Structure 1
Amino acid sequence: MGNSNSNSTMVDPVRFVSYEDMLKVIHEPEKVIIDVRNPDEIESTGKIPSSINIPLNTVSDTLASMPDDEFLKQYQRPKPSASDELIFYCKSGRRSQEALDKALKLGFSNSKSYLGSWEDWSSKQK
């Protein structure tokens, strides 16, 4: 790459949402909350309401090339466009950061990551 002026390690506040943000987002159907954990992880823990599961290793393919009708059938919602707000989360925030990078590279410029991810959410939901 070479020209990634070292800001990939810095947390860009514009790109992150907090627990408080998430409480609002789950009631905003136009925003797409994407859980990038593996399905078996979600089965054992549950998920954030209104989120859809696109495992990290399939995020790029799904966003880049899954046909709209297939996306709708699989996730019961329209495939997001490049301008939609995507919010990724995982267990601790590491995989969601990777997913965020992938989505940004694909041109989903309003993508974000839930910094605390499931660990933060589940600890505050009790």
Structure 2
Amino acid sequence: MANSVTKEISYEDLKALVGKSQNLFLVDVRTKEEVDKGCIPGSVNIPVDSVEAAFALEPEAFKAKYGVTKPPLDAPEVVFHCQMGRRGAMATNTAYKLGYVNARNYAGAYKEWTEKGGK
């Protein structure tokens, strides 16, 4: 596991960023069906199996497809999450391989977010 160093972000740190940080780029890697049942405010849905292709897109194509500006490789707060944590970790590792040096996984995931009353 030499090349899969997943940095993580806690619920408290993420909650402090949501809605307050201009730099936060929050990616929900769950399926559209899962996201339709609820999501963390401000998150962009890019299913885990699309992450590599999405982040390899040119900025104009990324914006056209996802409706948001593609974060630069050195973006300070690129956070991935899923329902339980595993897919978020996979997506974070993919982002690292593509050069996103500050990518982090919210390991508590949407499950923890809702349990702790994140709104």
TM-score in same-fold range (> 0.5): yes
What do you get for the CA RMSD once the two structures are aligned?
1.7
Matching residue of 2:22: 29
CA distance in 2, matches of 1:113, 1:61: 19
Of structures 1 and 2, the one with the larger relative CO (CA 8 A, separation 6+) is 2
106, 109, 121: which is aligned to 2:113? 121
2:44 partner amino acid: I
Deviation at 1:59, TM superposition (A): 0.2
CA distance in 2, matches of 1:29, 1:88: 16
1:61 partner SS: helix
CA distance in 2, matches of 1:21, 1:56: 23
Q: What are structure 1's unaligned runs of at least 5 residues?
A: none
Give the number of equivalent residue pairs. Answer: 116
1:97 and 2:89 matched: yes
CA distance in 2, matches of 1:57, 1:74: 15
1:106 and 2:98 matched: yes
1:33 partner SS: strand
CA distance in 2, matches of 1:91, 1:81: 26
CA distance in 2, matches of 1:43, 1:112: 23
1:122 partner SS: helix
CA distance in 1, matches of 2:111, 2:79: 16
1:16 partner SS: coil
Deviation at 1:106, TM superposition (A): 0.6
| Structure-to-structure mapping, 1:1-126, within 5 angstroms | 4-5=1-2, 8=4, 15-26=7-18, 27-44=20-37, 46-64=38-56, 66-84=57-75, 85-125=77-117
Deviation at 1:39, TM superposition (A): 0.5
Deviation at 1:25, TM superposition (A): 1.6
Deviation at 1:82, TM superposition (A): 0.4
Q: What are structure 2's unaligned runs of at least 5 residues?
A: none
Bigger-Rg structure (1/2) = 1
Larger helix fraction of residues? 1
Deviation at 1:70, TM superposition (A): 2.6
Q: Provide the identity percentage.
A: 34
2:99 partner SS: coil
